Chain A
Amino acid sequence: MAFTGKRALLVIALLGLLGLADVLLWAARHAPEPVEASGTGEASAAEQAAAQARWEALWQTLAEQGVTALAPGVADASLQPAGDTAFMRYRQNWREVDAALQRRLQLVALANDPARKLELLAPLLTADVARLRYRALLEQARIHLRSRDLPAARLAAQAALAVSDIPPLWQADAYFMLGFTALEAQDLEQAATALAAAVARDPGFWDARQTDLLVLTRLLEQPNQSSAACLDRTRRVIEHLGALPALAQNRAQFRDIADRLGEIGGRNPALKLAAGLGRLWAGDTVQAAEWLHEAATIPGALPAACADLIRARAALLAGSTR
């Protein structure tokens, strides 16, 4: 068959379309980084520098001391701090307590009807002893949260925090309830702030760390976050990943949490980095290498400065697994 002009044009057009398709596919795989969240130039630069310093400090600590550096210090190594209040998680919180007031609080615990609970609790809300008053307000907030009355729960938790001379460890519960309330109301920023306060006051607070991990993973998936926020959130995810298995006294948690992050991370470099790190700490270098390589190469939708640091760290860790 002769190679006519028409045929030549047809072939050239077809080749051109195929070439265009290849170029478009290549461009999609290497999509440009999203625009960083707006902020004043100087404030953003200072925040970024501070966040980066904290990021580098984390890796410096891990390099020097390993993952055990992230395990919260516990006063009693034989105790697994599990409980819904600081008083349940730790021992010897109370000294002399009025027996009648204690019995009343126990009857509140026995009652299962929320209205009955609140009725029994009422006299304790104005107790003279500040710590008892705090415990009663905390219980009031808890009852409201169990009833899913978020505004009442928030008010009670705030009232608890307003009681003076309360140890920071005890205050962690009130901050946790504020964080949980904000999470239920879908206010992730407020939730993250309150939960960070809870963890800062009680590093052994399992529930607060788990909930904060959930909030941080959601925040990392949101668009328009600043690089500083992205870095801080990723760092806190990694800190929780290092702390939770120690609190549970169960190293298998490294893998469980990593797998969860791997599932929900999708194509998010920050979560893939954490997932790879979890597998690495669990001893599975093969899966760790795969996820760390993904973290180092997938485009994701994180701010540029944050993504660059995450990918660089992931590449370094991926190289160390070989």
Chain B
Amino acid sequence: MDSNEADSAFLDIAANLLAVILIVTMFSLLATPPRPHSASAPDAVTDPPLAFQTPRRELFPPFSRFYFVLEERVVRWDEDAVLAALAADPADSGTVAQGRYRWKPERLPLRDLDTYTLTFQPDPVALRTQTPPLTPEQAAALIAQWSQDYAHTRIAPVFIVYPSGMEAFALLYPLLEDARLRLRWFALAENKPLDVGRFPQQFTDYGIYW
């Protein structure tokens, strides 16, 4: 009887020990090794959780349609008028209904053949006359139009916001966000002109990226 009890106790211990070993083996296979947090230099700061991501320029960006935001108005820039004037008149400066333009083409094509800059000085009086102050209904209609433009032709609005238009833009911006519209906006000091163009800095200056 004593011998049987001794054998039984030994088997109990052996079986339990083997079970523990197998369970530990199973968990060790499941576990992943801890990730070390260190750097090659002892005094170096460990990897920050948020790395600086270099802004990515969109390779084939949407087309830009410019809007002046001033004195409670959102006025579309009549680019076609400038194009027509430039096509008709070889002079590098002129006047259209919305203001004055100065065309600065790259005469010697050091880079691409179509490199240019154009400065457009809007006439606030003309813009005020052309467009009434923005109402909520007009804002909703504009947002619907912009959404449609982007969906059909990938034309996205670019807002040039003057100080006198900042309040109106502040009211408009949440609506633009809610509509999940693709857009850019730039603040300009009073009476500063709009500068557009095609030049090398567009590919190295993060602030201009779409």
Contact = CB atoms under 8 A, between A and B. Distances in A.
A pairs with B: yes
B22 A22 contact: yes
B79 A111 contact: yes
A112 interface: yes
A18 B111 CA distance: 71
A106 B114 contact: yes
B182 interface: no
Main secondary structure of the interface of B (DSSP, over half): mixed
A108 B105 CA distance: 12
Nearest to B59: A207
Interface in A25-72: 25-26, 29
A102 B198 CA distance: 14
Contacts of A166: none
B208 interface: no
A285 B40 contact: yes
Nearest to B112: A87
Contacts of A180: 59-60
Interface residues of B, number: 59
Given A22-B22, A110-B79, A286-B39, A256 B51 contact: yes
Range of interface residues on chain A? Answer: 35 or more
A78 interface: no
A222 interface: no
Main secondary structure of the interface of A (DSSP, over half): helix
Contacts of A97: 109, 113
A287 B44 CA distance: 13
Interface of A: 1-3, 8, 11, 14-15, 18-19, 21-22, 25-26, 29, 80, 82-85, 87-88, 90-94, 97, 99, 102-103, 105-116, 120, 132, 135, 139, 142, 145-148, 180, 207, 211, 253, 256, 259, 283-287, 290
Given A107-B87, A290-B36, 17 more contacts: A2-B4, A3-B7, A15-B15, A15-B22, A82-B203, A88-B111, A88-B112, A92-B110, A93-B112, A99-B107, A102-B109, A110-B118, A113-B65, A114-B63, A114-B155, A116-B83, A147-B154
25 contacts: A11-B15, A15-B22, A18-B22, A22-B25, A29-B29, A83-B111, A83-B203, A84-B59, A87-B112, A88-B115, A102-B109, A103-B90, A106-B116, A107-B86, A110-B196, A111-B79, A112-B155, A113-B155, A114-B63, A114-B155, A132-B113, A135-B113, A145-B60, A147-B154, A286-B38
